[in-house]
Structure 1
Amino acid sequence: MVPWSLVSPASRGIGFALARRILQTTNAPLVATARKDRTGTREKLLDGLDVDETRLTMLELDVLDEDTISNAAAACKERFPTPSNHLQLALLVPGILHAEKSPAQIDASSALATLRTNTLGPMLLLKHFSPLLPKKRHVQPGEHDLQGLPSTATMAIMSARVGSISDNALGGWYSYRASKAGVNQIVKTFDNHLRTVSGDKAMSVALHPGTVKTEFSKDFWGGVKEGKLFETEFAAERLVDVVRNVGIEGRGRCWDWEGKEVPP
C-alpha cells in the first residue's frame, strides 16, 4: 500500500512551499506539477533538502489546458495503480487576481481568466484526479504508511476569506471574490460526491492561507496588519497542519490557516 501526494501547481509561491513541506514532513511519494521548466522546478524544490529524490515526480500541467490535466492524471494512474496505491493528499492551488475596486473596472477578458484559473481549473483537476482517491471498498493504509499525511484522504483546494459571502463587508474584487465563492461551492458539492463513493475514506476541504508574501499579493502588502503578512514557509506549515488535524467532521467546509472555519 503506497499512499501518495499531489501539489498542483508547485512552481512558485504557496504551491512551491507546500511541495517542499510535504517532502520534508512525510514519507510519501509526491507528484508536483508545473506549466514549464519541470527540470528547473525540480532542482529548486529539492535544493537543500535531505530527502530521497526519487520520491519526487514532476509533471507538466496547465489548468487552462485540459489535455495536460488528463495526461498528468493518466501518468499518475500508471505510476500508482489503484487499488493498491491511491491519492492520499492533494493540494490544488492555482490562482490569479484582478482586483477591481468598482464595477467600472471589470474587464470581461480578465474576469474570465480569473474564473477559468481559480474556479474551472480546480474543477477540472477534480474531474481527472478524483478517480485516484480511495473508494469505500479499498483497504485503509496503516498508520506507518501515513507518516505525516492526513488519516482521511483529502483533496484540498485553495480558497480565500474574500470568497465568503457572509463575511463580505467591503465589496470590490468582483471576479476574485466570485471565483473563490465558486471554489467553496465546488468543495461542498464534490465532498457530497465523495460521501457516496468513498464514505469516510476521502473528503474535500477549502483552505484560506491568510495574506502570504508572494508576487501574487505584492500590491497589497502595505495594507496588511503587522504580524499578518506570512512567509510562504509559514503558510505551508500551517495549512498542512490544518489538513492533517481538521478531521472527517470538517469535511466540505473552508478552513483558515489557524484551523478556524471561514463561513460560507
Structure 2
Amino acid sequence: MSNATTESRRAEGVADCPPNLSRAPAIITRPVRVRAVDPRQPSSRGIGLAVTRHLLRTTTLPILATTRNPDPSAAKSSLIDSLGRDGIDDAARLHVLPLDVTDEASIQAASERAAELFPPKTHHLHLGLAMPGILHPEKSPKQVDYAGALETLKVNTLGPLMLLKWFGEFLPRKGTDMSEVAATTASSASAHHATFLLMSARVGSTTDNRLGGWYSYRASKAGVISLARTFDNHLRVRSGDKAMAMAYHPGTVKTEFSREFWGNVKEEKLFSAEFAAEKLVGVVGGRDVQSDRGRCWDWKGEEVKP
C-alpha cells in the first residue's frame, strides 16, 4: 500500500481515450417492446470502456453513455474509433451525454435527457452499471486526509446513490411486460428481470477485512454494498421480481486505477479490462432474481459477504 495521503488513484484510466472522464457513468438501452434502458458507468475508461466495447460487439443494444468530457462528441468518436469496425454503424445506437457523479444537477440533467430519448412510458431500464471510483490508499489513521476522504465518499458512495435516485425510476415495475427481452436473451437467467449493478470491492467486506488500511476506500465500498441491499429492498416492493440490485467485485484489473499495485498481484490474478468486462456481463446474466438479489458477487460468481 502507498503511504501517500494526498495522491489518489482514479478508476477507469486508459491511455487511448479522452482524459478527465473517470467519474462518467453510462446508460445502456436495450429493446423491450419499444426499447428498454440500462444505466452503466464509466463508459470512456478502463472497465467501463471495455464493457461498452463488449456490448457494442456482442449485442444490438442502443447505448446511452455519459462522460465528464465537455465535448461528449469527442468521447463518442474515440470510443467508436477504438472498435475498429468499419462498415458497422455503431454510432447510430450510441448516445453520449455529459455527467459528473459529484454534481447532482448534471445527473438530473442526464436523466431528463435520457427520458426524452427513451420515454419511460414506452421504455424501461434493463441493465444498470454504476462504476465510479477513486482511491486514497491510507495505511494508518494519521494518513487520512479529510478532503481526500470526503472526495472518496462523494465519488464512490454518494455518486452511485445519486445515480439510483435519478435513474432508478427507469427500472421496470411489477406490471411491466418483459416478454420481448426474454425472447431476445433466452439463455440468460436475467432475461426476465432488470439489474442495477453498483461497483464495490472485496475490501468493502467487513467480514473479509483481515489486513486493515485503506480507511476511506474501505468505508466507501462497504457503503456501496449496503446501498445495493437497501435499494434492492425498495425494488422488492416497487418492482417485485422484475428488477433487482446487486454489488460487484471485479477483481484486480490492469487499469491506471490499480497501476501502483500491479507488482503485488500474481500475474494470473491481474485481469485485462476486456476479461473483466466479459466476466462482469456473464455474472450479471447468471444471477437469479429470487436467490441472488441484494448481495455482492465477485468475478467468479461467488458471494462477497458484507
TM-score category of the 2 structures, normalised to the smaller one: over 0.9
Confirm whether residue 118 of structure 1 aligns to residue 151 of structure 2.
no
Three-state SS of the structure 2 residue aligned to 1:250 is coil
Evaluate the alpha carbon distance shift between residue 52 and residue 166 of structure 1 in structure 2; reply closer, same or farther with a 3 A threshold. same
Confirm whether residue 194 of structure 1 aligns to residue 235 of structure 2.
yes
Confirm whether residue 43 of structure 1 aligns to residue 77 of structure 2.
yes
1:10 alignment partner AA: S
Confirm whether residue 101 of structure 1 aligns to residue 139 of structure 2.
yes
Alignment of 1:49-68 (within 5 A): 49=85, 50-68=88-106
CA RMSD of aligned residues (A): 1.4
Q: Any idea what the Cα deviations from partners look like across 1:23-81, whole Å, max 9, x if unmatched?
A: 12222211111011322221222221445321111011100100110011111111111
Three-state SS of the structure 1 residue aligned to 2:126 is strand
Three-state SS of the structure 2 residue aligned to 1:227 is helix
Distance 2:202 2:252 in 1: 10
Evaluate the alpha carbon distance shift between residue 31 and residue 141 of structure 1 in structure 2; reply closer, same or farther with a 3 A threshold. farther
Deviation at 1:4, TM superposition (A): 2.9
TM-score w.r.t. the length of structure 1 is 0.96
Which of 273, 279, 303 is the matching residue for 1:232? Answer: 273
| Residue number in structure 2 paired with 1:161 | 202
Identity of aligned residues (%): 54
Check the 8 A contact 1:3/1:28 in 2, yes or no: no
Three-state SS of the structure 2 residue aligned to 1:166 is coil
Moved more, 120-129 or 13-22: 13-22
Check the 8 A contact 2:80/2:90 in 1, yes or no: no
Evaluate the alpha carbon distance shift between residue 5 and residue 23 of structure 1 in structure 2; reply closer, same or farther with a 3 A threshold. farther
| Residue number in structure 1 paired with 2:304 | 262
Check the 8 A contact 1:5/1:29 in 2, yes or no: no
Q: Any idea what the Cα deviations from partners look like across 1:214-239, whole Å, max 9, x if unmatched?
A: 11111000100220011101000000
Alignment of 1:134-213 (within 5 A): 134-142=172-180, 143-146=182-185, 150-151=190-191, 152-213=193-254
Distance 1:42 1:148 in 2: 30
| Residue number in structure 1 paired with 2:48 | 15
Which of 15, 27, 31 is the matching residue for 2:64? Answer: 31
Distance 2:60 2:269 in 1: 31
Q: Any idea what the Cα deviations from partners look like across 1:188-232, whole Å, max 9, x if unmatched?
A: 000000000000000001110000011111100010022001110
Check the 8 A contact 1:209/1:235 in 2, yes or no: yes
Check the 8 A contact 2:39/2:167 in 1, yes or no: no
Distance 2:295 2:43 in 1: 23
Distance 1:17 1:184 in 2: 23
Distance 2:179 2:102 in 1: 33
Which of 123, 140, 145 is the matching residue for 1:85? Answer: 123
Q: What number of residue pairs does the alignment pair up?
A: 264
| Residue number in structure 1 paired with 2:24 | none
Distance 2:102 2:276 in 1: 26
2:77 alignment partner AA: E
Moved more, 37-46 or 238-247: 37-46
Distance 2:210 2:136 in 1: 19
1:22 alignment partner AA: L
Distance 1:11 1:147 in 2: 29
1:92 alignment partner AA: A
Distance 1:5 1:141 in 2: 17
Check the 8 A contact 2:37/2:123 in 1, yes or no: yes
Distance 2:284 2:100 in 1: 24
Which of 295, 298, 302 is the matching residue for 1:253? Answer: 295
Deviation at 1:8, TM superposition (A): 2.1
Deviation at 1:258, TM superposition (A): 0.8
1:260 alignment partner AA: E
Q: Any idea what the Cα deviations from partners look like across 1:144-192, whole Å, max 9, x if unmatched?
A: 4448873210000100000000000000000000000000000000000
Evaluate the alpha carbon distance shift between residue 58 and residue 148 of structure 1 in structure 2; reply closer, same or farther with a 3 A threshold. farther
